[in-house]
Amino acid sequence: MDSLDSGISITFKYGKGFEEPWLVLKGAPSRVRTDLIEAFAIPQEVAAGKTLNELLIFCNHIVHGTGNVATILGGTPIAESPAAEQNGNQTASQADPWATANGEAGGADAPSTAPQENPNAGLLSQIESATTKDELKRLWAANKAAFDAADVKAAYSAKGKSL
């Protein structure tokens, strides 16, 4: 067993008062590092390459954030779903609940389904901010190819009717 004389001690306080919960980790730095990773369920890919000090700061943010959510917002911990427990060998990115909710396979190899920015967003903004029909006509003349897109046609027609 590690003794305090041959190691370090880290204490996390989940609040200002003595009655608030504390988490105390003691031992050799390598042991404390392992305990931190385990206590905070930090995925190995997140912990890799971080110093003990960097992990300490990372965990301190978790402690304070959790404490604030509980104290200020009245939050309480929720249990993991049975599916999450069955998938315990997945990495954090593979067990992403948002990816699951969107029907994605998850994981680093999954194709990105992030919404793509509309290539006509700038033109749509210009159409919306046009103040005269002549200004709309100039936009059309300068961007004829873009007016093949249904969203641009619809915005142009609507703005023209409103002017």
According to the model, what pLDDT value does residue 2 have?
46
Q: What is the rounded distance in angstroms from the CA atom of residue 25 to the CA atom of residue 2?
A: 11
pTM of the model: 0.45
According to the model, what pLDDT value does residue 16 have?
82
According to the model, what pLDDT value does residue 106 have?
47
3-state secondary structure the chain: CCCHHHCEEEEEECCCCCCCCEEEEEECHHHHHHHHHHHCCCCHHHHCCCCHHHHHHHHHHHHHHHHHHHHHHCCCCCCCCHHHHHCCCCCCCCCCHHHHHCCCCCCCCCCCCCCCCCCCHHHHHHHHHCCCHHHHHHHHHHCHHHHHCHHHHHHHHHHHHHC
According to the model, what pLDDT value does residue 74 have?
81
According to the model, what pLDDT value does residue 97 have?
63
Low-confidence ranges of the chain (pLDDT < 50): 1-2, 106-108, 110
Residue 77 CB-half CA count within 13 A: 5
**Domain-wise residue ranges, the chain:** 4-73, 121-162
According to the model, what pLDDT value does residue 67 have?
77
Q: What is the rounded distance in angstroms from the CA atom of residue 133 to the CA atom of residue 162?
A: 10
